[in-house]
Amino acid sequence: MAPRPVVGPSRVREISPRETQRLAEVGVLSASLVHELRQPLFAARALAQLAHAAARPDQVAAHLDGVLGQLETLDVLLRGYSELARSPDRQPVAFDLWTAIRAALVILEHRARSAGVAVQVGGIGEVQVRAPVLAVQQVVVNLGQNAIDALAGRPDAALTITVLDGPVRVRIADNGPGLDADIRSRLFEPFRTTKEGGTGLGLMLSRDLARGFGGSLALVAGEMIGTVWEVVIPV
């Protein structure tokens, strides 16, 4: 008769609420990273194909400039996520809200210029808020990119980012086609998107990031002409 194996004490331990939260954050950030990297990768590939097929040297140079711009966008995104990874607790800090908005504008600038979208900023001046800086920045980037994609090819396309108070919030508005009733009723469902090649994750991730730092994300106007989002941020 074969000896029975000795079963030692269980090594299974219960996962703490903090560890559960961290695992959830890792999942959200991983999905966000995939979502954000897809757009510039697709754009760079398309531009490289155009450069390969171009007949004139000036066309090749223009397409390669576009590729370089997309690669710069990838670099900025990866550096941003590296910063998040180096800050495991992602504790809220006090900072001027415009710090995050200016950083988001750097990321949005090339895509807006390529799509022919004018970007305008306004509202109150320096205002101290309390949140993870990169999380706020990422929400603004996600909403701004959605607006630029919706505006591409439209005459007089404009994206406006405004800082308001009472409560402190960032308003991201565009003069695009708006959202139909079906989309408005299912805004935060993953894989629900109007964009070709989109994943539908951007809004869901933005809402989760806003909730994570004690804020909120809401659609305040989205019918017929234009879409307006507001991100409330704790002070």
The residue extents of the domains of the chain are 17-232
Tokens of 34: 């995939």
> Among 232, 16, 11, 7, which residue's Cα sits nearest to residue 129?
232
Say how far apart CA 37 and CA 41 lie, in whole Å.
Answer: 6
CATH fold for domain 17-232: Heat Shock Protein 90 (3.30.565)
Q: Which residues of 119-132 are buried (b: 16+ CB within 10 A; e: fewer)?
A: beeebeeebebebb
Q: What is the pLDDT of residues 137-159, one digit of tens each?
A: 989 998 998 899 889 888 899 99
CA dihedral 198, 200, 204, 207 (to 10 degrees): 60
Q: What is the pLDDT of residues 84-132, one digit of tens each?
A: 555 444 678 999 999 999 989 988 888 888 889 999 999 999 999 999 8
